[in-house]
A and B are shown apart, each in its own frame.
Chain A
């Protein structure tokens, strides 16, 4: 058991090391920091001095080592574009993205699970067919199209909801939240819906599929034979049995949502770290790109590792040897 945990953590560390290497390559070689940081008039001597200061005269392996060392301390350098400490820039934006993703996740689970159960209980009913079709539309229509349509209807035509931004935020220490003000909550509605739509549909379809499988098992047939009510069977026995994959998928989904939020953030000008990243990409602001890549990957890997470990804890079959194929992708 402990061996598995250690192996998983080792894996995660290895993955992060490789991600760090990718970020390092982007940072050190594609950006040519000397070219980007000095202006035209800089003399050869100044260039050499900067090269020394940045450690570019060291062997590559030493450069990488120092990059990782700095990254571990949260030091990703200074943004080329607005000359601010990158980690501070990202830290400032993190709460906005985090809040958006959390609300979207709650929406996805709160709407997706009941709909999924409904569609599975009576798969041939009209409601179930409609749910399936709508959930199909939900996974097919791109998030930015949803966003644009929502803005067109609710901001431009009806003027009910704000088209951009986070509204008023309240600062609690370093954290900022929009959940405590009315304008902040209202501003969250459309971005959260457009981000969650794919996940709502996805969870609906997942729950339906899992439920259909579970409902066919002898265990459920036996429960029905025992004369338990449909309600008890559907919700107590069947749903409970398919929650595990839902929980794991949700864990991994959050990582995906954080990355995917950058599209929603672009449409709604949501001041999260995704928007920061998209702007950094258009400006080729290498330090921000590298740092964002590492931070999002770190969150992603952490979540995946936790999910894996939970899986191992819950499912005894996986404790021996078969661990490699456990993740549902």
Chain B
């Protein structure tokens, strides 16, 4: 019952806040007059669209093993002498079309990144609201847990969580559940930031008169938190989330590069780089170079956008 209400209220709050943010004319003006932000957004939209439409755009489904043919293995990009249509950016040693693999890989990377950030933000916001609004020993306990999580290097936690879960899962489930494991291992370490942020605001808001008034009117705590306090903290949460998206995508790529992430049968960009890394001496530079470029481009665009958003919303800079 309560959770139902929570989600409904939260969605309400998020919608109204997003609308408000968008209509904030300063922000729109700023965006249209910042070439960096514009270009980054365009790049990101293009990448996201192409990733979403991957099944339509790519000549091959790289996850469908029946479409991989060994006799098409290691073809160079199409503009070189030995290139062959439709393999625009060449193929890898299993006959996987690099262009298709990049589109599908970007999809996985973006999906895990987004899901990781959303999960971390959701956990963090809830924990922060509860800790900040209720206070007392609950606050103390939750913040201690947060301190604890931050006391272990995040990469280490992610590697351990990912490696151990994968080890424990039966083989037939392993590949299917790897994205979920990755999302968990990314969000398990990054919710604290949101929690601290929201907690601080919640503590301030909780003492304000309108909240006291609402309390006097016996409005439920959950309602106060979600419809009064949450909208006020949404903007910094959004900025943090954008800035963290780059980190989340990087984390997934790093885990896959180290071999504890996405498997070779469902490669993400990090996996493609790991595979390509074995072949670049032999002259198959395209297997490693294009995925590396795409990954760097995604993270760069996300970071530039997040940076701009933070500056644009930072009143001190105006």
B is a partner of A = yes
Q: Is A127 an interface residue (CB 8 A)?
A: no
Contact of B296 among A133, A145, A263, A282 (CB under 8 A): A145
Q: A142 near B299 (CB under 8 angstroms)?
A: yes
Q: Decide if B160 touches A26 in the complex (CB within 8 Å).
A: yes
Would you give the shortest CB distance from A58 to chain B, in whole angstroms? Answer: 24
Contact of A263 with B258 in the complex, beta carbons under 8 Å: yes
Could you tell me the dominant secondary structure of chain A's interface residues? Answer: helix
Q: Which residues of B contact A136 (CB under 8 A)?
A: 300, 303-304, 307
Q: What would 15 A/B residue contacts be, using CB atoms closer than 8 Å? A: A136-B300, A141-B300, A142-B250, A142-B253, A145-B295, A152-B280, A156-B281, A259-B155, A262-B159, A263-B254, A266-B258, A281-B159, A284-B163, A293-B156, A297-B153
Task: State the Cβ distance, A34 to closest chain B Cβ, in Å.
Answer: 17
Hey, which chain A residues are within 8 Å of B12, CB to CB? none
| Residue A140 at the chain B interface, CB threshold 8 Å | yes
Q: With A156-B281, A256-B153, A262-B155 in contact, is A325–B167 under 8 Å at CB?
A: no
Excluding A30-B168, A259-B154, A300-B151, 10 further A-B contacts by CB distance (< 8 Å) are A19-B152, A136-B300, A142-B250, A144-B273, A156-B280, A216-B316, A266-B258, A293-B160, A304-B151, A329-B150
Q: How far is the CB of A301 from chain B (nearest CB, A)?
A: 5
Instruction: Report yes or no: B155 in contact with A15, Cβ–Cβ below 8 A.
Output: no
State in angstroms the CA–CA spacing of A281 and B254 once bound together: 14
Q: Is B106 an interface residue when CB atoms closer than 8 A count as contact? A: no
Q: Which residues of A contact B296 (CB under 8 A)?
A: 137, 140-142, 145
Does A214 count as interface, using CB distance less than 8 angstroms?
Answer: no
A179 at the interface (CB under 8 A from B): no
Chain A residues closer than 8 Å to B300, beta-carbon distance: 136-137, 140-141
Mark A289-305 against chain B: 1 for CB-CB distance below 8 A, else 0: 10011001100110010
Which residues of B are found within 8 Å of A266, using beta-carbon distances? 257-258
Of residues 117 through 165 on chain B, the ones whose CB sits less than 8 Å from some CB of chain A are: 143-144, 147-148, 150-156, 159-160, 163-164
Known contacts A26-B160, A136-B304, A140-B296; is-contact A148 B153 (Cβ 8 Å) = no
Task: Chain B residues near A148: list those with CB within 8 A.
Answer: 273, 277, 280, 288, 292
Question: Whole-angstrom distance from the CB of B102 to the nearest CB of chain A?
Answer: 14
Scan residues 1-56 of chain A and give those whose CB is less than 8 A from a CB of chain B.
11, 14-15, 18-19, 26, 30
What sequence of 0s and 1s flags, for each residue 128-147 of chain A, a beta carbon within 8 Å of any chain B beta carbon? 00000100110111111100
Closest CB in chain B relative to A226 CB, distance in Å: 25
| Complex Cα gap A142–B272 (Å) | 14
Closest 6 pairs (CB-CB, A-B): A259-B153, A140-B300, A140-B299, A15-B151, A141-B296, A145-B292
CA distance A293 to B155 in the complex (A): 11
Interface of B is mostly: helix
Interface size on B, residues (CB 8 A): 46
B156 pairs with A142, CB closer than 8 A: no
Please tell me if A101 contacts chain B, counting CB pairs below 8 Å: no
Bound form: Cα–Cα A284–B36 in Å:
45
> Is A260 an interface position by the 8 A CB rule?
yes
* B206: Cβ under 8 A from any A Cβ: no
- Most chain-A CB neighbours within 10 Å: which of B36, B152, B159, B296? B152
Interface segment among B68-76, B192-200, B216-224, B226-234: the answer is B192-200
Bound together, the chains give a CA A26 to CA B168 distance in angstroms of 12
Contact A142 B152 (CB under 8 A): no
Nearest Cβ on chain A to B4's Cβ, whole angstroms: 33
With the chains together, A315 CA to B263 CA distance in Å? 49
Q: Provide the residues of chain B in CB contact with A260, threshold 8 Å.
A: 153, 155
Measured CB to CB, the closest approach of chain B to A72, in angstroms, equals: 18
> Which residues of B does A touch, CB under 8 Å?
36, 143-144, 147-148, 150-156, 159-160, 163-164, 167-168, 192-193, 196, 200, 246, 250, 253-254, 257-260, 273, 277, 280-281, 285, 288, 292, 295-296, 299-300, 302-304, 307, 316
8 Å CB contact of A30 from B155, B167, B292: B167
Question: What residue of chain B has the Cβ atom nearest to residue A163's Cβ?
Answer: B281
Interchain CB contact (< 8 A) of A324 among B143, B152, B295: B143
A26 touches B164 (CB 8 A): yes
Which chain A residues lie closer than 8 Å to B277 at the CB level? Answer: 148
Bound together, the chains give a CA A281 to CA B150 distance in angstroms of 22
**Which residue of A is nearest B192, CB measured?**
A329
- Whose C-beta in chain B lies nearest to the C-beta of A292? B156
**Chain B min CB distance to A143 (Å):** 8
Question: What are the residues of chain A within 8 A of B151 when measuring CB–CB?
Answer: 15, 19, 297, 300-301, 304
Given A137-B300, A213-B316, verify A142-B150 contact (CB < 8 Å): no
Q: Does A90 contact B (CB under 8 A)?
A: no
Which residues of A are found within 8 Å of B163, using beta-carbon distances? 281, 284
Please measure, in the bound complex, the distance between the C-alpha atom of A262 and the C-alpha atom of B260, giving whole angstroms.
Answer: 13
Q: How far is the CA of A145 from the CA of B164 in the complex (A)?
A: 26
**A140, B156: Cα distance in complex, Å:** 20
A178: interface (CB < 8 Å): no
How near does chain B come to A116, taking the closest CB pair, in angstroms? Answer: 15
Query: Nearest CB to that of A144 among chain B residues?
Result: B257
Q: Is A318 an interface residue (CB 8 A)?
A: no
Q: Does A193 contact B (CB under 8 A)?
A: no
Q: Is A258 part of the binding interface, using a Cβ–Cβ cutoff of 8 Å?
A: yes
Say whether, besides A293-B160, A297-B152, A141 and B280 are in contact (CB < 8 Å). no
A300 — nearest CB in chain B belongs to which residue?
A: B153
Asked if A255 is at the interface of the complex by the 8 Å CB criterion, the answer is yes
CB closest residue in chain A, given B167:
A284
Bound together, the chains give a CA A296 to CA B257 distance in angstroms of 21
Flag A143-187 by CB within 8 Å of B: 1 or 0 each. Answer: 111001100100010000000000000000000000000000000
Query: Within 8 Å of chain B (Cβ to Cβ): is A68?
Result: no
